[in-house]
Amino acid sequence: MNTNTTQELMSKMKLHGMADSYEAICQLPVDKQPTTHECIATMIDAEIQSRSNKRKTMLTRLSKLRYNASMLDIKYNSKRNITKQTIASLSDCAYLDRGENILITGATGCGKSYIACALGHQACLYGYRTLYFNMNRLCEQIAIARVDGTFIKWMNKLKKARLLILDDFGLQNLSHDVKLAILQILEDRYKISSTIIASQLPVNKWHTYLNEPTVADAILDRLTAKHTQINLKGKSMRKNNL
């Protein structure tokens, strides 16, 4: 069996990382080629890396993040009330394993959504399934799923996401059905998975916004039991980018 045939068989078996590595090894001078054991180890490592990269790309695509944001591009200054230490403490995604939530608040344009998406992108890079919704889309999805009979299936999909991002919380009135759905979503995720909420409203106004004391108590209890809070300040960053 020649090298071309071997590469073709690897590709047919979808061992693309291994095939690329094998090709690179074969192109080396004979005296530079690794031993049999080293060759196998190198190809296996290449295949693992290839599959990992494909999974990260897939997770990022399926997350439907609003922004192609990176934690490296987050801007820090005292006026924004955010420090590198705060973000660094979240960069290893350990909070996801602890089932902790992140509540991001601040005025419009101050970068809440960008930071939420940067955290979401980081979670994808670490191999965690992530989903992003702004609240308008979430309400629409809840209504559609109830009508077409896929509500339970859709809820189970959300439950499987290790990170759920809900953006623009507090911009619209929520129906009783939506509030109950949010409560169920948070109940499914409680101490197991993490949720990021981005809102213009301060957390201490969320109870009033929800406007149903019993449901509000239950929702906030699940959100704030284990959480990190980021209160952004300063003027709109959109104006700075004009």
Same domain for 178 and 92, yes or no, is yes
Same domain for 178 and 201, yes or no, is yes
Asked whether residue 1 carries a pLDDT value surpassing 70, the answer given is: no
Asked whether residue 171 carries a pLDDT value surpassing 80, the answer given is: yes
Same domain for 193 and 227, yes or no, is yes
Quote the pTM value. Answer: 0.85
Please write the tens of the pLDDT for every residue from 52-78: 889 999 999 999 999 999 999 998 887
Same domain for 92 and 165, yes or no, is yes
Other beta carbons less than 10 A from residue 23's beta carbon = 14
Same domain for 77 and 49, yes or no, is no
> In CATH, what number is assigned to the domain containing residue 184?
3.40.50.300
| Token pair recorded at residue 16 | 């693309």
Residue numbers of the domain that contains 113: 64-240
Same domain for 103 and 164, yes or no, is yes
Pure H helices in the chain: 3-12, 16-26, 36-63, 84-88, 94-97, 112-125, 135-148, 151-160, 176-189, 206-210, 213-224, 237-240
Same domain for 199 and 225, yes or no, is yes
First to last CA, the chain: 62
CA angle 95, 68, 61 (to 5 degrees): 80
Mark which of 37, 56, 75 sits at the end of a domain: 56
Same domain for 119 and 51, yes or no, is no
Average pLDDT over residues 206-220: 96
Q: For the chain, what is the domain count? A: 2
Average pLDDT over residues 178-195: 96
Please write the tens of the pLDDT for every residue from 80-117: 889 899 999 999 999 999 999 999 999 998 999 999 99
Same domain for 28 and 147, yes or no, is no
Mark which of 56, 74, 98 sits at the end of a domain: 56
pLDDT level of residue 240 (50, 70, 90 thresholds): low
Asked whether residue 14 carries a pLDDT value surpassing 90, the answer given is: no
pLDDT recorded at residue 232:
94
Same domain for 217 and 115, yes or no, is yes
pLDDT level of residue 242 (50, 70, 90 thresholds): very low
DSSP bridge pairs for 164: 131, 195
Same domain for 121 and 145, yes or no, is yes
pLDDT recorded at residue 48:
85
Q: How many CA atoms lie within 13 A of 14 on its CB side?
A: 2
**Scanning the structure block, which residue is given the tokens 């591009």?**
73
Ranges 45-49, 99-103, 130-134: which has the least confidence: 45-49
Give me the chain's average pLDDT, please.
91
Same domain for 138 and 37, yes or no, is no
